[in-house]
């Protein structure tokens, strides 16, 4: 968690509630610099961390190569909120479809250009989410076995799905 991110407290509370609902424990680590990211990963061995969730943060996205390399070096299954991490060699991402978000922005811009007042437009929450799995990384690092799943037989379907 980047403590400088304005959503850090909200994200922390939501993740704590989700973990409690599932009967799981969760720990949070904070990093706001490259050195702090390295330092946090250095503690994972003694803390016996086996999985990591990297939340959405512009600084973290800019340091995605560092996160992916450290997760691989330390044998940690990392799940990211943005697909760019997976494109850079990370194992799994799950998050909002940015392509659909950009499409929504275009639709809103079109409505405004046609004369609708922005204040009259409804607030739209994301409804399309995507899970992206790097099959090469999964095979190389034993990700499927470590996740307790068998390796998929078919190529991964990259089609985003809609959340009701």
Q: Tens-of-pLDDT digits for all 164 residues of the chain?
A: 999 999 999 999 999 999 999 998 888 999 999 999 999 999 988 888 888 999 989 999 999 999 999 999 888 889 999 999 999 999 999 999 888 999 999 999 999 999 999 999 999 888 889 898 888 888 776 655 555 555 554 444 454 444 44
* 75 Cα distance to chain centroid: 18
Give pLDDT, residue 68. 94
Give pLDDT, residue 156. 46
Give pLDDT, residue 142. 62
Give pLDDT, residue 50. 80
Task: Phi first, then psi: give them for residue 40, nearest 5 degrees.
Answer: -65, -45
DSSP 17: H
Q: Where are the beta strands (DSSP E) in the chain?
A: 51-54, 77-80, 92-96, 128-133, 161-162
Give pLDDT, residue 154. 45
pTM of the model: 0.77
| CA-atom Rg of the chain in angstroms | 18
């Amino acid at each position: 968690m980047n403590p400088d991110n304005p959503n850090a407290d909200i994200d922390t509370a939501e993740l704590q509630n989700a973990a409690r609902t599932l009967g799981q424990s969760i720990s949070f680590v904070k990093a706001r610099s490259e050195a702090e990211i390295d330092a946090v990963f250095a503690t994972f061995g003694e803390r016996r961390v086996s999985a990591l969730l990297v939340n959405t943060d512009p600084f973290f996205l800019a340091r995605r190569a560092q996160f992916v390399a450290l997760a691989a070096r330390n044998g940690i299954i990392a799940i990211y909120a943005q697909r760019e991490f997976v494109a850079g060699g990370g194992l799994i991402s799950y998050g909002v479809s940015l392509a659909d978000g950009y499409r929504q922005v275009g639709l809103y811009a079109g409505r405004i250009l046609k004369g609708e007042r922005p204040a009259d437009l409804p607030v739209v929450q994301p409804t399309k989410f995507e899970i992206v799995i790097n099959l090469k990384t999964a095979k190389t690092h034993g990700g499927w076995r470590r996740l307790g799943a068998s390796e998929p037989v078919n190529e991964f379907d990259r089609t985003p799905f809609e959340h009701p």
